[in-house]
Protein backbone atom coordinates (compact mmCIF):
# COMPACT_ATOMS: atom_id res chain seq x y z
CA UNK A 1 0.00 0.00 0.00
CA UNK A 2 1.37 3.40 -0.99
CA UNK A 3 1.88 6.05 1.68
CA UNK A 4 1.16 9.63 0.69
CA UNK A 5 3.75 12.07 2.00
CA UNK A 6 1.39 14.76 3.23
CA UNK A 7 2.44 18.35 4.00
CA UNK A 8 2.44 17.65 7.75
CA UNK A 9 4.89 14.75 7.45
CA UNK A 10 8.52 14.85 8.50
CA UNK A 11 11.42 12.47 7.94
CA UNK A 12 13.52 11.89 11.07
CA UNK A 13 17.02 10.65 10.22
CA UNK A 14 18.50 9.04 13.31
CA UNK A 15 22.22 9.16 14.16
CA UNK A 16 23.86 8.63 10.76
CA UNK A 17 27.24 9.46 12.30
CA UNK A 18 30.73 8.19 11.59
CA UNK A 19 31.02 6.20 14.83
CA UNK A 20 27.82 4.26 14.08
CA UNK A 21 28.80 3.29 10.54
CA UNK A 22 31.47 0.85 9.31
CA UNK A 23 34.89 1.98 10.49
CA UNK A 24 33.44 3.67 13.58
CA UNK A 25 33.82 2.69 17.22
CA UNK A 26 30.23 1.44 17.53
CA UNK A 27 29.58 0.46 13.93
CA UNK A 28 26.23 -0.99 12.92
CA UNK A 29 26.77 -3.67 10.27
CA UNK A 30 26.00 -2.40 6.74
CA UNK A 31 24.81 0.91 8.15
CA UNK A 32 26.51 2.73 5.29
CA UNK A 33 24.47 0.72 2.76
CA UNK A 34 21.33 2.70 3.61
CA UNK A 35 22.87 6.12 2.95
CA UNK A 36 21.87 6.34 -0.75
CA UNK A 37 18.30 5.30 0.05
CA UNK A 38 18.02 7.81 2.88
CA UNK A 39 19.30 10.61 0.64
CA UNK A 40 16.83 9.65 -2.08
CA UNK A 41 13.89 9.41 0.33
CA UNK A 42 14.77 12.73 1.96
CA UNK A 43 14.41 14.38 -1.44
CA UNK A 44 10.70 13.53 -1.34
CA UNK A 45 10.14 15.29 2.00
CA UNK A 46 9.80 19.02 2.54
CA UNK A 47 10.58 18.59 6.23
CA UNK A 48 13.64 16.63 7.38
CA UNK A 49 15.21 16.49 10.84
CA UNK A 50 18.57 14.92 11.68
CA UNK A 51 19.70 13.67 15.09
CA UNK A 52 23.19 13.33 16.55
CA UNK A 53 24.38 11.43 19.59
CA UNK A 54 26.55 14.03 21.36
CA UNK A 55 28.26 12.61 24.43
CA UNK A 56 30.74 14.26 26.80
CA UNK A 57 33.83 12.33 27.79
CA UNK A 58 33.19 10.01 30.72
CA UNK A 59 29.57 9.49 29.68
CA UNK A 60 27.52 6.99 31.71
CA UNK A 61 27.01 4.78 28.64
CA UNK A 62 30.75 4.24 28.05
CA UNK A 63 32.15 0.95 29.34
CA UNK A 64 35.47 2.75 29.88
CA UNK A 65 33.80 5.05 32.42
CA UNK A 66 33.06 2.06 34.65
CA UNK A 67 36.07 -0.15 33.87
CA UNK A 68 33.74 -2.71 32.34
CA UNK A 69 33.31 -4.54 29.02
CA UNK A 70 31.33 -3.02 26.17
CA UNK A 71 28.35 -4.95 24.75
CA UNK A 72 28.52 -7.52 27.58
CA UNK A 73 28.27 -5.52 30.80
CA UNK A 74 25.67 -3.10 32.08
CA UNK A 75 25.26 -0.87 35.11
CA UNK A 76 22.27 0.12 37.18
CA UNK A 77 21.45 3.78 36.65
CA UNK A 78 18.82 5.85 38.45
CA UNK A 79 16.52 5.24 35.46
CA UNK A 80 17.16 1.49 35.18
CA UNK A 81 19.64 -0.75 33.38
CA UNK A 82 22.19 1.07 31.24
CA UNK A 83 23.81 -0.96 28.44
CA UNK A 84 27.52 -0.21 28.14
CA UNK A 85 29.11 0.66 24.81
CA UNK A 86 32.54 1.60 23.48
CA UNK A 87 33.29 5.32 23.67
CA UNK A 88 31.37 6.85 20.77
CA UNK A 89 30.11 10.14 19.35
CA UNK A 90 32.22 12.20 21.75
CA UNK A 91 31.49 15.89 21.38
CA UNK A 92 33.70 17.61 18.84
CA UNK A 93 35.37 14.45 17.53
CA UNK A 94 35.28 13.13 13.94
CA UNK A 95 33.29 10.10 15.13
CA UNK A 96 30.45 12.37 16.23
CA UNK A 97 30.18 14.07 12.85
CA UNK A 98 27.43 13.18 10.42
CA UNK A 99 28.69 10.83 7.73
CA UNK A 100 30.03 12.80 4.74
CA UNK A 101 27.86 10.79 2.33
CA UNK A 102 24.68 11.92 4.09
CA UNK A 103 23.49 14.51 1.59
CA UNK A 104 20.39 16.32 2.84
CA UNK A 105 21.12 20.04 2.50
CA UNK A 106 17.49 21.01 3.08
CA UNK A 107 17.36 19.44 6.56
CA UNK A 108 15.70 21.98 8.84
CA UNK A 109 17.00 20.91 12.25
CA UNK A 110 19.88 18.95 13.76
CA UNK A 111 18.91 17.72 17.22
CA UNK A 112 21.70 16.67 19.59
CA UNK A 113 20.97 14.21 22.37
CA UNK A 114 22.83 12.38 25.12
CA UNK A 115 24.86 15.46 26.10
CA UNK A 116 24.25 15.06 29.86
CA UNK A 117 27.06 13.02 31.38
CA UNK A 118 24.85 11.05 33.78
CA UNK A 119 22.00 9.97 31.51
CA UNK A 120 21.80 8.34 28.10
CA UNK A 121 19.30 9.28 25.42
CA UNK A 122 18.34 6.68 22.84
CA UNK A 123 15.14 8.49 21.95
CA UNK A 124 15.07 11.76 20.02
CA UNK A 125 12.16 12.84 22.25
CA UNK A 126 12.97 11.87 25.83
CA UNK A 127 16.12 10.82 27.61
CA UNK A 128 16.39 7.35 29.07
CA UNK A 129 14.63 8.35 32.28
CA UNK A 130 11.51 8.66 30.13
CA UNK A 131 10.84 12.12 31.57
CA UNK A 132 13.51 14.62 30.50
CA UNK A 133 12.45 16.07 27.13
CA UNK A 134 14.78 16.96 24.27
CA UNK A 135 12.36 19.61 23.00
CA UNK A 136 11.69 17.85 19.70
CA UNK A 137 8.00 17.22 20.43
CA UNK A 138 7.40 20.91 21.05
CA UNK A 139 9.25 21.87 17.88
CA UNK A 140 7.18 19.48 15.78
CA UNK A 141 3.88 20.53 17.33
CA UNK A 142 4.62 24.23 16.89
CA UNK A 143 5.33 23.55 13.22
CA UNK A 144 2.22 21.39 12.76
CA UNK A 145 4.13 18.22 11.85
CA UNK A 146 2.28 15.11 13.00
CA UNK A 147 3.22 12.11 10.83
CA UNK A 148 6.82 11.07 11.42
CA UNK A 149 8.88 8.63 9.35
CA UNK A 150 12.01 7.21 10.96
CA UNK A 151 15.18 5.95 9.25
CA UNK A 152 18.79 5.44 10.35
CA UNK A 153 20.56 3.54 13.11
CA UNK A 154 20.07 1.61 15.12
CA UNK A 155 16.70 -0.04 14.53
CA UNK A 156 16.65 -1.75 17.91
CA UNK A 157 17.89 1.22 19.91
CA UNK A 158 17.71 4.87 18.84
CA UNK A 159 15.35 4.40 15.89
CA UNK A 160 13.03 2.12 17.84
CA UNK A 161 13.08 4.20 21.03
CA UNK A 162 12.40 7.36 19.02
CA UNK A 163 9.46 5.89 17.14
CA UNK A 164 7.90 4.45 20.29
CA UNK A 165 8.33 7.73 22.16
CA UNK A 166 6.72 9.58 19.24
CA UNK A 167 3.72 7.25 19.35
CA UNK A 168 3.38 7.71 23.12
CA UNK A 169 3.38 11.48 22.51
CA UNK A 170 0.47 11.03 20.05
CA UNK A 171 2.38 11.49 16.82
CA UNK A 172 1.79 9.03 13.99
CA UNK A 173 5.02 7.03 13.89
CA UNK A 174 6.23 5.06 10.87
CA UNK A 175 9.54 3.15 10.65
CA UNK A 176 10.98 2.61 7.17
CA UNK A 177 12.44 -0.83 7.77
CA UNK A 178 14.73 -1.16 4.76
CA UNK A 179 16.39 2.17 5.59
CA UNK A 180 17.38 1.17 9.10
CA UNK A 181 19.89 -1.31 10.50
CA UNK A 182 20.06 -2.99 13.92
CA UNK A 183 22.80 -3.57 16.48
CA UNK A 184 21.20 -6.95 17.03
CA UNK A 185 22.06 -7.81 20.61
CA UNK A 186 20.23 -10.96 21.77
CA UNK A 187 16.50 -10.31 21.72
CA UNK A 188 16.66 -6.59 20.97
CA UNK A 189 15.07 -6.69 17.50
CA UNK A 190 12.28 -8.98 18.69
CA UNK A 191 11.60 -6.73 21.68
CA UNK A 192 11.54 -3.66 19.44
CA UNK A 193 9.06 -5.25 17.04
CA UNK A 194 6.82 -6.30 19.92
CA UNK A 195 6.86 -2.75 21.30
CA UNK A 196 5.99 -1.42 17.84
CA UNK A 197 2.89 -3.61 17.87
CA UNK A 198 1.87 -2.46 21.34
CA UNK A 199 2.23 1.23 20.55
CA UNK A 200 0.87 1.12 16.99
CA UNK A 201 4.14 2.08 15.30
CA UNK A 202 3.77 1.25 11.60
CA UNK A 203 6.51 -0.56 9.66
CA UNK A 204 6.82 0.00 5.92
CA UNK A 205 9.30 -0.27 3.06
CA UNK A 206 10.66 2.77 1.25
CA UNK A 207 9.15 1.47 -2.01
CA UNK A 208 5.71 2.38 -0.64
CA UNK A 209 6.63 6.06 -0.44
To the query of whether residue 113 is one of the catalytic residues in this protein, the response is yes
Predicted local distance difference test score (pLDDT) of residue 3: 81
Predicted local distance difference test score (pLDDT) of residue 1: 56
pLDDT in tens, 168-192: 999 999 999 999 999 988 899 999 9
Which residue in the list 53, 89, 156, 158 is annotated as catalytic? 158
pLDDT in tens, 94-135: 999 999 999 999 999 999 999 999 999 999 999 999 999 999
To the query of whether residue 158 is one of the catalytic residues in this protein, the response is yes
Contacts 24+ apart (CB under 8 A), 60-68: 60/117, 60/118, 60/119, 60/120, 61/85, 61/114, 61/120, 62/86, 62/87, 62/88
**Cα–Cα dist 21/209, whole Å:** 25
Burial class (CB in 10 A: 0-12, 13-18, 19+), 207: exposed
Which residue in the list 15, 32, 87, 156 is annotated as catalytic? 15
Which residue in the list 53, 89, 113, 120 is annotated as catalytic? 113
Residue pair 137/125 in contact (Cβ under 8 Å)? The answer is yes
Amino acid sequence: MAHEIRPTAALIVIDMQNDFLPGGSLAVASGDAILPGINALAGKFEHVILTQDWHPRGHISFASTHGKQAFVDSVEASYGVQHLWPDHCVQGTPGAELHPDLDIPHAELILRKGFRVGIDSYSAFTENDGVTPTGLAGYLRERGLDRLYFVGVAYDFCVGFSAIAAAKLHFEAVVVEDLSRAVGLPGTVEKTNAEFEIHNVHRILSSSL
